[in-house]
Amino acid sequence: MDNTLRLKYLDAMGIDVWVSKAPIDVKPRLPAVDAIVDGGSDRPAINDWNALQTEVSNCTKCALCETRTQTVFGTGNKNADWLLIGEAPGQHEDEQGKPFVGNAGQLLTEMLRAMGLAREEVFITNIIKCRPPRNRDPHVDEVGRCNGYLQRQLAIIQPKIILAVGRIAAQALLNTDMPLARLRGKVHNLNNTPLVVVYHPAYLLRSLPEKRKAWQDLQLAMQTIKISED
Binding site for ligand URA (CB under 6 A): 86-90, 93, 99-100, 104-105, 126, 166
Q: Compute the least distance from the CB of residue 25 to ligand URA, in Å.
A: 28
Q: By the 8 A CB rule, do 33 and 156 touch?
A: yes
Q: Looking at beta carbons only, is 93 or 217 nearer to ligand URA?
A: 93
What residues contact 24, with CB distance under 8 A and at least 6 apart? 115, 116, 117, 222, 226
Q: Looking at beta carbons only, is 79 or 126 nearer to ligand URA?
A: 126
Q: Looking at beta carbons only, is 36 or 68 nearer to ligand URA?
A: 68
Q: Compute the least distance from the CB of residue 108 to ligand URA, in Å.
A: 8
Give the strand pairing for 187-190 and 193-198: antiparallel
- Indicate the Cα dihedral angle 128, 133, 138, 144, nearest 10°: -60
Amino acid at 25: D
Amino acid at 63: A
The whole-angstrom separation of Cα 156 and Cα 79 is 8
Q: Looking at beta carbons only, is 36 or 82 nearer to ligand URA?
A: 82
Q: Compute the least distance from the CB of residue 164 to ligand URA, in Å.
A: 10
Q: Compute the least distance from the CB of residue 84 to ligand URA, in Å.
A: 9
Q: Looking at beta carbons only, is 36 or 171 nearer to ligand URA?
A: 171
Q: Compute the least distance from the CB of residue 68 to ligand URA, in Å.
A: 13
Q: Compute the least distance from the CB of residue 212 to ligand URA, in Å.
A: 22
The whole-angstrom separation of Cα 105 and Cα 165 is 11
Residues forming a β-bridge with 83: 123, 162
Q: By the 8 A CB rule, do 137 and 170 touch?
A: no
Residue 161 main-chain phi, psi, to 5 deg: -150, 145
Q: Compute the least distance from the CB of residue 198 to ligand URA, in Å.
A: 11
Q: Looking at beta carbons only, is 88 or 172 nearer to ligand URA?
A: 88
Q: Looking at beta carbons only, is 62 or 163 nearer to ligand URA?
A: 163
**Among 87, 108, 78, which residue's Cα sits nearest to residue 10?**
108
